[in-house]
Amino acid sequence: MRYTYGQAKQALARFASGYGLMDVGAAVNTAMDELSRSRTWARLRKTVRMDVGSEYFALPQDCGALIRAAVDRTPVTVRGTEYEFLHSGPGDLDFTEAGWAPLNGVQRVGVFPTMYGLSDIMSLAAFSTVAPTGPLRVRGRDVNGDKIAVTVPVNVWTGPDDVVDPDTVSKTTVEFADIDSVTLPSDASGYITLSAINTNGDVYVLSRMHPKIVIPEFTRYRLPGFDTTTTDKVYRILAEVALRFIPLVDDDEVVPFDSLLPVQFMMQSVASMEAGEIKTADEYRQRAEVLLVRREESELEKQTLHVVNMLYDDSVGEMSNRYDNI
């Protein structure tokens, strides 16, 4: 059974009030965040399709990592940055030949404050349908490599029909060469889009950020050997991704787990840890995870055997009707 955020707060309020945890919503969100990071639960995974037209691409803010991927219908390996430093690895992937990508995998580059990086020395501007009163701060480096911290003005953007005029947009006077971190206003109530503007007035979207995540993070990936000789080349990626928990705000939002009992136990674990009762906290945490494991095992249990016989027509994996086996 699924529950809304409002139902969860009402049902679990008495577990949040103990040990000084008076903010029910914050306690519920903290517990769900801890649960979601304990493992890649089936309920927190989804399959997505992406068309990638450049060497680098990023997952949306609610996605944490690629679990499995297929590029242009071919299953590939998802590798980390350490792959370049293995003795049996390929070495520096900056020097791989074009066309290497579809057959040899996707590389995880790391976690960054924006979805896309700066392509030049650029000014920054932000847009939102509801302008916050607090500051949006960006830390990074200028053209000289010196660290800088600047308040980025947030422009009010009313919607798709509102054309952005670079000449009238409020932007930073300081230009950035790289971005280290982004800090959103604490009173933000609408999604905020961070953009970069070059000297020609061209506007490039860097990221679209959830208003309740003060320090945004995005996971970037790379297709090594991306064919840059053809500007219209697009790789189609089928991927299974692990969802990153986004704090719930509205009462009608849905809790990602199908039971409130594990959330209750994790709330009690956090409260016990706050009180210094470490053993009790560990026991509650373990009980919360065990409950989710049991639910996941029963939900994913296969009811029948799946037998693939490629030698005979009309079987699931029949060979004669597959063009690639002719």
Secondary element (H or E) of residue 66: strand 63-71
Whether the CB-CB separation of 217 and 180 falls below 8 Å is answered with: no
Q: Considering the entire predicted model, what is its pTM?
A: 0.79
DSSP 6-30: HHHHHHHHHHHSGGG---HHHHHHH
Sign (positive or negative) of CA dihedral 251, 257, 258, 259 = negative
Secondary element (H or E) of residue 300: helix 278-300
Model pLDDT for residues 219-239, shown as the tens digit of each residue? 999 888 877 676 678 889 999
List residues bridging with 26 in a β-sheet: none
Q: Which of 245, 187, 232 is nearest to 37 (CA)?
A: 245
Q: What are phi and psi of 318, to 5 degrees?
A: -55, 140
Whether the CB-CB separation of 77 and 105 falls below 8 Å is answered with: yes
Strands in 82-234 per DSSP E: 106-112, 123-128, 136-141, 147-152, 154-156, 178-183, 192-197, 203-209, 218-222
Model pLDDT for residues 65-116, shown as the tens digit of each residue? 899 999 888 888 898 888 888 887 778 887 777 767 666 789 999 999 999 9
Model pLDDT for residues 251-262, shown as the tens digit of each residue? 999 999 999 999
In this predicted structure, the answer to whether residue 309 has a pLDDT above a threshold of 60 is: no
Q: How far apart are CA 181 and CA 179, in angstroms?
A: 6
Least confident of 133-147, 222-236, 266-280: 222-236
Residue 239: per-residue pLDDT: 93
Residue 325: per-residue pLDDT: 45
Place of tokens 């953007």: 157
Least confident of 4-8, 31-35, 300-304: 300-304
Q: How far apart are CA 193 and CA 13, in angstroms?
A: 34
Q: How far apart are CA 264 and CA 283, in angstroms?
A: 13
Q: Hey, which of 11-25, 31-45, 172-186, 212-226 has the most confident mean pLDDT?
A: 172-186
In this predicted structure, the answer to whether residue 326 has a pLDDT above a threshold of 50 is: no
Q: How far apart are CA 163 and CA 159, in angstroms?
A: 9
